[in-house]
Amino acid sequence: MPENSSQETSTESPIAFVLFGAAGDLAKRMVLPAFYELATHGLLPTRWALIGAGRRSWSDDEFRAHVRDSLNEFGSAPDDSDWEEFAGNLRFAGGGFTVDDPGAVLDVLGDYPKDTWQLVHYLAVPPTAFGPLTEAFGAHDLAAGSRVVYEKPFGTSRDSFHKLDKQVHDVFDEKQVFRIDHFLGKENTQNLHVLRFANGLFTGVWNNRHVEQVQIDVPETLNIDDRAKFYDSTGAVLDMVVTHLFQVAAEVAMEPPLSLSADDLQTARESVIAAFRPLDPSEAVFGQYEGYRDVDGVAPDSTTETFIALRMWVDTDRWHGVPFLLRTGKCLGRSAQRVNLVFRNPEDGPITHIPADGNVLSFDLSGEGAIDLRMTIKKPGPGLSLSTAHMELPLKEVADGLSPYSRLLSDVLRGDRSLFTRPDGLQHVWDVATPLIDNEGTPLPYPQGSMGPSEADTLAGPAGWVEPAPQHD
């Protein structure tokens, strides 16, 4: 039986959702707006409760005011009638939550008996709090039958991953655990395997005979001012590569799963991660934007990278010899979240001098997403002059999808683990990344507003990094 069949519950089962770190930035920007989006789409059960938990001593009404402020700033501002119904299900349990002192959590949960309510713990807290909170769930008998959601990163090194993994499995069964990576909740990330497996046009060319390179490109114009202390202790590799970019690479590179059930999809994803070759520091470029060390919370002599570009190899028959190029960074010249499959030019044929970007299939993962296919065509007019044309399918024209966090929260409430990571895959992630983490070079400076150190351009070869296609009115 597929794994999600035994865990999935009816949407009518009452849910008590406990949000640890409810006053924090992640909850405010992502989790609370996502939960409200589920409510407005009718995707919550008839009976539900959202219980904020933290060290503050807020009343229920003070927490409700905080939630409404968060929705007004980062989500959909509710009208009075919608808000009144939503706010009636909000509670707050202050005083912290530790092994020795549960604060008000147990008192509030007393109104939601665990024999009739599905309990979900969401840890929107710094990674250093994952272990202590997990132990507290066990100490206060809040683990049996519940589900628990861990934010990334799940560990900050190979050793810390093993320690945290043991702490978690000392308290929870693996089928209760949801390690969230919101890139897997993006509509177009899921289209990576749907387009490939459901369309014969692409199924036959998804291999090294036809693909010259794969680029996973996530540059950001944002700085790190609002989370400088956290970022300076992690950097681009931990913040983006071992989490989001590796998972997206696995979506591209996986072998066809037996089915799209949770078990089979996870197995395909984790199996190909096991084939990622350990990263070679000589095939990576680290950068740090100019002015980074002047940010409050950043050490004046910090060597934390704010940019990373690297070449990775997937040791399977399908992808042997095809470089997977990963790039991400802060304060760059543009923002994007794109997967580009750069196809090989025809080996035999009468047409030569094909444009460098003339055979590219792109997936835009940002916003509502889009699929773009670039092809080499003849320019109108006399003679044979070649140009590149592109066809774009914006996904908003197909369906009104949920935001990534909303999609993943909905899966948690239903018990569907298809889009969540497993410990075997995470173990391989750390095996792959550790040589790079242990041998990071001094980051190269780059101007804010640039696309990072120029040395990163050579990783992509003569064709360079694929630029977004021009937009047409």
Binding residues: 55, 152, 182, 186, 220, 239, 330
Residue among 258, 343, 303, 264 at smallest CA distance from 445: 303
Tokens 């970007």 identify what position? Answer: 357
User: Beta strand 338-343 with 323-329: parallel, antiparallel or unpaired?
Assistant: unpaired
Q: What is the b/e burial string over 427-439, where b = at least 16 CB atoms within 10 angstroms of the residue's CB?
A: bbbbebbbebbee
Q: What angle do CA 271, 264, 250 make, to 5 degrees?
A: 40
Binding-site residue numbers for NADP(+) are 55, 152
Q: One of 210, 244, 353, 472 is an active-site residue; which one?
A: 244
Could you give the CA distance from residue 252 to residue 113 in angstroms, rounded to a whole number? 43
Tokens 């036809």 identify what position? Answer: 210
Could you give the CA distance from residue 337 to residue 220 in angstroms, rounded to a whole number? 9
The answer to whether 254 touches 269, Cβ cutoff 8 Å, is: yes
Could you give the CA distance from residue 176 to residue 75 in angstroms, rounded to a whole number? 29
Residue 121 is a catalytic residue: no
**Host H or E run for residue 15:** strand 15-20
Dig out the tokens for 330 from the structure.
Answer: 């802060």
Tokens 């060597």 identify what position? Answer: 303
- Radius of gyration for the chain, computed over Cα atoms and rounded to the nearest angstrom: 23
- Specify the amino acid at residue 357: D
Binding-site residue numbers for substrate are 182, 186, 220, 239, 330
Catalytic center residues: 244
